[in-house]
Chain A
Amino acid sequence: MSDLLLSLKGLTKAYPGVVANDNVSFDIAKGEVHALLGENGAGKSTLVKMIYGLVKPDSGEMRLNGEVFTPAEPRAARASGVAMVFQHFSLFNALNVAENIALGMENPPKQNALAARISEVSEAYGLPLDPFRTVGDLSAGERQRVEIIRCLLQDPKLLIMDEPTSVLTPQEVEILFETLRKLKAEGTSILYISHKLEEIKALCDHATILRLGKNVGTCTPAESTAAEMAEMMVGSSLQTPERSGREFGNVVLELTDLSVSAPGEFGTTLQDITMSVQAGQVLGIGGVAGNGQDELLGALSGELPSSPGTIKLDGRPIGDFGPNERRALGLLTAPEERLGHAAAPDMSLTENAMLTGAIREGLANKGFLNWGKAADFARKIIEEFDVRTPGPENAARSLSGGNLQKFVIGREVLQRPEVLVVNQPTWGVDASAAASIRQALLDLAAGGAAVIVISQDLDELMEISDHFAALNEGHLSEALPAADLTVEQIGLMMGGAHGMEVSHVG
């Protein structure tokens, strides 16, 4: 078994109230691309954190090259040849690429020598990157390249990648895959974490599937269908949302040359956004994270005011209206961040129902609050959206991410919006909850409301959108009928391969 690189046996890790990993075993061979597949909360992250020395297993054994492997900290794991690219980057915006890479090294060489090595490695693996550019100016894809090159400089035996494509355009994904294939050809093993089945089919040799912390099976992705893998991942077959053919009505919401300056230093400035949605239409807005999604939602919710004429609801200029005035007119929104933005974590669900429902549901009379009515409204949301909680008196933070998301979406949907804008409606939500949220959005549109879905999940957008547009550095592309779009077109709308004209894998 000399070609075995890493072998995991019976790894178990429990947190209070939840077993994150229960007796997980699998092997990774040298030069293999191994997929770790599972839904959100299946225990993928905990497992790789154990391999990377961030978390200690409660029991079980890891062997690297046949020897017992117990990394006490990431430094020890790196010394043994394990490198990891995280989903969330740990980079300093104000420093340049070389400085950022030097910060993560034990004995960084001189800046110029390091820059030369960075250029060398980036050339060799087809990851163009200028070592002297400031990280704050880089796109998400380029930032990921910084992280990857940082790992490659250590000459790793095992490269762990946690959901690497969630921040990439389709073109950038293709470039990344070329790099990974090259690494594999050189004998580097890759542990690839994802829930995107098509990617895994295209890239991985073997897949281990986790569900609720348990290893529920392995497969060879090239020989399995996506549906089979999905079923193993979820445990049951999923219903795909139904959409009925429907007629679009009048234009309800119209944006004309909307520009909003960035609220923070590294925020995105919205530039000349022009779009319109009709009643009954679902407009999907894609784009890589950090290209103005939060700002667009803020501009529509009324948190970021603009000049009156740039936003029109039923022909009425509302750009300078606050959130409550917009709600009164039927423009409702649901932000991406559930805890702290869409809902107050320590407040009860009743209070959180009051948070946006006061006006349209008549929960307040001349400023005096009707808590009985608010509790009824909260109960109605819980019931109709299948929110798993003992009752409306429970704090929002006591709910799981998926349940809270159902509550947040339900709260807006049940207020009969004329226009509903949601940002990342199914982020971090398990597959069945995601399906029911998408269905609710489609039903809302079928009922004659205009729905705008901002999301980074292209599969989701393709599933529910009638028209598709993409945000790219604060600009919004023209909206095109979603059914006619190819993946290449979508990728180009999202900005193509950020920061590179052509890609050559040397």
Chain B
Amino acid sequence: MFKLEKRPQPSKMWTLLTPPLAVLATMIFGGLLFGLLGNPPVEAIRTIFWDPLFGEFAFYYRPQLLVKGGPLILIAIGLSLGFRAGIWNIGAEGQYIMGAIFGAGAGLAFYPMEAFYIFPIMVIAGAIGGMLWAGIPAFLKVKFGTNEILVSLMLVYVAEQLLASMSLGLLKNPDGFGFPGSRNLQQYASAHNAELITGTGMHWGVVAAFIAVIFSYILLNRHMLGFSIRLTGEAPRAAKFSGVSPARLILFCLGTSGALAGLAGMFEVAGPAGQISIDFNTGYGFTAIIVAFLGRLHPVGILLAGLLMALTYIGGEIAQSNLGLPAAAIQLFQGMLLFFLLAVDLLTNFRIRLASSRRKGVA
């Protein structure tokens, strides 16, 4: 029989090995799943992981990697700060929507004026929108001890209603022949978050994501605030003893993750999406939770995990259209990734021992 034995300290090797192993296990079991659905397993896996990067139409898919990965990474970096400290912001999707509404709203307020300062104002407005939305659960938690998981999650649905109302009311395109949705920001030069280098998918949001990775790395490893965050997550009482103010930390973590999610929404609405519409949000805020954990809440890990998750999104879409795989199978496949990650994660803190069967002496 197998026995689990707690390691005296977490294994460095397994911390690094866990994500690749989880990806491998997902490929194997995902392949089995696709096989059982009547699709050629190897081809399905190749379609998801290989075709977007090196296939015939890779020139089209490769930029998508950054377009989809950018917001995932940006949001996940923000979430990881809170998650490290045991502060669970589950409502990044709502903060993402609010960032988009604030950002687009700020931009459209200037329409049709053209000026260099419009885009920076939109960026700031987007961050403020997300921060305010995340500030609600933060304030309630600090003031009344409410659970930030529930409050932030419920505010997602409030934000969705607001989004619909904005698309149909305040931000509706006056020249849109009555169709819901705002003016298209892609056609408004001063507000357009355009591709920086043609054909790469690189826009300001992706730049922001890379900057966030670097800042978060420095914060967590070199700064007192990051140390306080990690300490609070590891041992809350020790953190308080060390002088960390829990209330200030809650406000910082929720505020920052909200601001980053808001930025992601703002860059999305001004770039790839183009307009505020009822179905603007596509679940980046929730998928980013998986990305944060897949990346081990580590900035560099999140960078890689975000790109990987973007890959399964794009590859999954190709597999849907080319092989006729059901969308649910792709979602299951992505879920599997998190499942295997958590399962293999056990090995970081435990080692598996073969319990000897020589236990006859037991009374």
Contact = CB atoms under 8 A, between A and B. Distances in A.
Interface in A336-392: 337, 339-347, 351, 354-356, 358, 364, 367-369, 371
Given A16-B5, A60-B363, A324 B243 contact: yes
A19 to B, nearest CB: 14
Contact of A302 (B223, B243, B361): B243
A70 interface: yes
Contact of B238 (A56, A333, A343, A364): A343
A340 B238 CA distance: 6
A323 B223 contact: no
B225 to A, nearest CB: 7
B222 A395 contact: no
B42 interface: no
B342 to A, nearest CB: 18
Interface string A298-325: 0001110000000000000000001110
B8 interface: yes
Nearest to B349: A346
Contacts of A356: 241-242
A57 B10 contact: no
B14 interface: no
B9 A394 contact: yes
Nearest to B234: A344
Contacts of A70: 363
Nearest to A374: B227
Interface in B208-248: 222-225, 227, 230-231, 234-235, 237-243, 245
A397 interface: yes
Interface residues on A, range: 35 or more
B363 A347 contact: no
A59 interface: yes
Interface string B39-66: 0000000000000000000000000000
Contacts of A475: none
A345 B234 CA distance: 8
B221 to A, nearest CB: 8
B243 A322 contact: yes
B240 A303 contact: yes
A143 B227 CA distance: 42
A123 to B, nearest CB: 40
Contacts of A354: 227
B8 A337 contact: no
Interface residues of B, number: 25
A344 B238 contact: yes
A398 interface: yes
A443 interface: no
B362 interface: yes
Tell which of A301, A302, A345, A355 has the most Cβ of chain B within 10 Å: A355
Contacts of A355: 231, 238, 241-242
A61 B237 CA distance: 45
Nearest to B363: A70
Tell which of A337, A344, A369 has the most Cβ of chain B within 10 Å: A344
Contact of B235 (A303, A322, A344, A364): A344
A344 B230 CA distance: 10
Given A367-B225, A368-B222, A395-B8, A56 B243 contact: no
Contacts of B225: 367
A335 interface: yes
A341 B235 contact: yes
Nearest to A50: B363
A397 B222 CA distance: 23
B241 A351 contact: no
Interface in B1-36: 5, 8-10
A355 B241 CA distance: 9
Nearest to B245: A322
Contacts of B239: 344
A58 interface: yes
B362 A56 contact: yes
Q: List 7 tightest A-B contacts by C-beta distance, closest first.
A: A324-B243, A395-B9, A323-B243, A344-B235, A398-B8, A59-B361, A344-B234
15 contacts: A59-B363, A61-B363, A301-B241, A302-B243, A340-B238, A344-B234, A344-B238, A346-B9, A347-B231, A347-B234, A367-B223, A368-B222, A368-B223, A395-B9, A398-B8
Interface of A: 16, 56-61, 70, 301-303, 322-324, 327, 333, 335, 337, 339-347, 351, 354-356, 358, 364, 367-369, 371, 394-395, 397-398
Given A342-B238, A369-B222, 19 more contacts: A57-B363, A58-B362, A59-B361, A59-B363, A301-B241, A323-B243, A335-B241, A337-B237, A344-B235, A344-B238, A345-B234, A345-B235, A347-B234, A347-B235, A356-B241, A367-B224, A367-B225, A368-B223, A397-B8
